[in-house]
């Protein structure tokens, strides 16, 4: 037993997410404003974002938020590829390096290469004593506490949260959003800990039943648009890590361009939907997939009704740009329960390690 209350650390850490977001909000509010001002001063048209695995997916969510709020597209590159993609000659630039442990060798190598070219480095990590924290120019801490399960859950949520606040501050400093929009977005983020707590409480038993229903699925595909596309990638990664089965994330309509050939009655399709990313495309894709007898689980913000979906899970209203913050616990819970039902230990995938060296 991981504790008196929980069978595994993974489920315990999912339930800790509301407190983690609250702590991150309290401890990081000032530092995010400072870092946002530093970044705004230093980048002209080059803002790189790197990470590996889950941290890379958090970077993609940050890219989406910045593009929507600022009309500017950061370049997000897997940390292991960054050095190969880095130009020989580079103008003034900023690198945001994301690593839960702050010790990922691919991230550290990329940061050292950036420092050698005069790039200003912001580290986003959960470890204040890590190599990343020590070599970056400035650091944003996620305040998630120790994470014992191998699959990142609460640390990913904290990354999403910190990066969402950073994107909002950058947009306000850059005057691409006005004070009214800024306050509205920050108010939503201030309410996020309570909303996440409510979501976990409301969907836990439902997700447990859904996992029992689909435990014999051969493959799982997760589809999403807008900010929910990076989350589709992250959800699929969690299933790979903890359930030892094939799962893949796709952009909603991109799935129709080839991968749809793989579906059938034993292939679960999870569709992530939000009213801001379009209702009709969701209905059209689900209708197409159901024609091949694929079971569908729809996770949405209570604004989309698709009667032919096998499972409908409705979440509270939340800004689309930051929607992964309240959607992610649902996918994490699903991966957890599916893993347990398959007779696996979700805390200790046999071929993986917490820090990739």
Two structure tokens written together for 75 = 């370049």
**Which of 197, 214, 165 lies closest to 315 in space, CA to CA?**
197
For residues 337 and 201, give the distance between their C-alpha atoms in angstroms, rounded to a whole number. Answer: 15
Average pLDDT over residues 26-39: 95
Residue identified by tokens 């870092």 is 35
* % residues pLDDT > 90 (the chain): 90
Residue identified by tokens 């596309």 is 229
pTM for the whole structure: 0.96
Query: Does the pLDDT value for residue 233 go beyond 50?
Result: yes
Q: What is the pLDDT of residues 281-337, one digit of tens each?
A: 999 999 999 999 999 999 999 777 788 889 999 999 999 999 999 999 999 999 999
Q: Say how many residues make up the chain.
A: 357
Residue identified by tokens 């709020």 is 69
Q: Where are the domains of the chain?
A: 9-177, 198-341
pLDDT on residue 4: 55
Architecture of domain 198-341: 3-Layer(aba) Sandwich (3.40)
Query: Does the pLDDT value for residue 46 go beyond 80?
Result: yes
Query: Does the pLDDT value for residue 51 go beyond 70?
Result: yes
CATH superfamily of this structure's domain 9-177: Glucose-6-phosphate isomerase like protein; domain 1 (3.40.50.10490)
Q: What is the pLDDT of residues 253-277, one digit of tens each?
A: 999 999 999 999 999 999 999 999 9
For residues 113 and 286, give the distance between their C-alpha atoms in angstroms, rounded to a whole number. Answer: 45
Residue 296 in 3-state DSSP? strand
Domains 9-177 and 198-341 belong to one CATH topology:
yes
Angle at Cα 157 formed by Cα 152 and Cα 163, nearest 5°? Answer: 120
């Amino acid at each position: 037993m991981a504790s008196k209350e929980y069978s595994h650390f993974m489920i315990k850490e999912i339930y800790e997410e509301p407190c983690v977001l609250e702590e991150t909000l309290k401890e990081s509010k000032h530092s995010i404003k400072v870092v946002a001002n530093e970044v705004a001063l230093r980048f002209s048209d080059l803002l790189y974002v790197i990470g590996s695995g889950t941290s890379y997916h958090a970077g993609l969510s940050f890219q989406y938020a910045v593009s929507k709020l600022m009309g500017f597209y950061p370049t997000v590159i897997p940390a292991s590829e960054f050095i190969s993609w880095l130009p020989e000659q580079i103008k003034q630039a900023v690198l945001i390096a994301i690593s839960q442990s702050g010790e990922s060798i691919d991230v550290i190598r990329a940061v050292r290469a950036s420092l050698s070219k005069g790039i200003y480095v912001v580290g986003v990590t959960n470890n204040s004593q890590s190599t990343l924290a020590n070599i970056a120019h400035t650091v944003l801490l996620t305040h998630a506490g120790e994470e014992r399960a191998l699959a990142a859950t609460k640390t990913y949520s904290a990354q999403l949260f910190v990066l969402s606040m950073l994107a909002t501050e950058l947009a306000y400093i850059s005057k691409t959003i006005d004070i009214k929009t800024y306050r509205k977005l920050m108010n939503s983020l201030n309410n996020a800990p309570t909303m996440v707590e409510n979501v976990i409480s409301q969907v836990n038993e439902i997700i447990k039943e859904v996992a029992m229903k689909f435990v014999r699925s051969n493959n799982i595909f997760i589809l999403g648009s807008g900010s929910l596309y990076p989350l589709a990638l992250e959800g699929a990664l969690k299933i790979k890590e903890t359930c030892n089965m094939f799962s893949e994330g796709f952009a909603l309509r991109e799935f129709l361009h080839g991968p749809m050939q793989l579906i059938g009655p034993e292939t679960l399709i999870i569709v992530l939907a939000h009213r801001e990313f379009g209702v009709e495309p969701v209905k059209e894709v689900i209708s197409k997939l159901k024609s091949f007898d694929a079971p569908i689980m729809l996770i949405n913000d209570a604004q989309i009704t698709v009667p032919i979906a096998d499972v409908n899970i409705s979440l509270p209203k939340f800004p689309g740009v930051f929607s992964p913050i309240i959607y992610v616990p649902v996918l994490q819970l699903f991966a957890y329960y599916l893993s347990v039902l398959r007779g696996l230990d979700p805390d200790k995938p046999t071929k993986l390690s917490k820090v990739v060296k």
